[in-house]
């Protein structure tokens, strides 16, 4: 069977995922409503795998890349956020000051995609810091599918 393409999926499916991702519907309702669109050889599982984040297959920079110094650090927020976890990355070959980039995540927290983005920028010659703004709430929950990151802000 050929792989799914965005063009093969109705906009209503993306709207449904958006409602689920932003906690407007529960997972059970999401899967039940998604089953309406599972027709013509397209299964609920294939739709879900198309919609859900897949970090492992999309990394561009290995977290142990030998050209980078990358480490998780913590720092105290001066504005009452408490202790914040962040990924700090820079090229190992740097001998002078580097321009910096703060990599800001969306509502999921410091997920693997955001970490990969910070490492890519570091490979391009920047020092990067990618803070996890969910740190005061327990940090990135480790699974976007569980909705914990979204629920923490509601």
List pLDDT tens digits, range 64-82: 999 999 999 999 988 877 8
Residue given tokens 């480790």 in the structure block: 142
DSSP bridge pairs for 90? 69
Q: Which tokens belong to 131?
A: 């803070």
Please tell me the pTM assigned to this model.
0.66
Query: Is 60 within a domain?
Result: no
Which parts of the chain sit beneath pLDDT 70? 1-2, 40, 53-57, 143-154
Indicate whether 58 belongs to any domain: no
Residue 107 shares a structural domain with residue 41: no
Residue 63 within a domain: no
Distance CA 8, CA 42 (A): 10
Residues 80 and 144 in one domain: yes
Range of the domain at 45: 6-51
Percent above pLDDT 90 for the chain = 37
Mean pLDDT (the chain) is 84
Position 75 in a domain: yes
């Amino acid at each position: 069977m050929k792989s799914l393409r965005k063009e093969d999926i109705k906009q209503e499916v993306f709207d449904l995922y958006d409602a689920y991702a932003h906690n407007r519907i529960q997972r059970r309702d999401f899967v039940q409503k998604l089953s309406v669109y599972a027709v013509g050889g397209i299964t609920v599982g294939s739709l879900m795998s198309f919609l859900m984040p897949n970090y492992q297959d999309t990394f561009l920079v290995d977290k142990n890349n030998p050209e980078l110094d990358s480490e998780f650090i913590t720092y105290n927020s001066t504005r009452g956020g408490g202790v914040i976890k962040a990924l700090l990355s820079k090229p190992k070959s740097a001998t002078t000051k580097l321009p910096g980039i703060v990599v800001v995540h969306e509502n999921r927290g410091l997920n693997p995609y955001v970490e990969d983005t910070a490492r890519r920028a570091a490979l391009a010659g920047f020092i990067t810091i990618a803070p996890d703004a969910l740190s005061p709430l327990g940090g990135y929950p480790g699974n976007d599918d569980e909705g914990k990151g979204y629920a923490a802000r509601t």
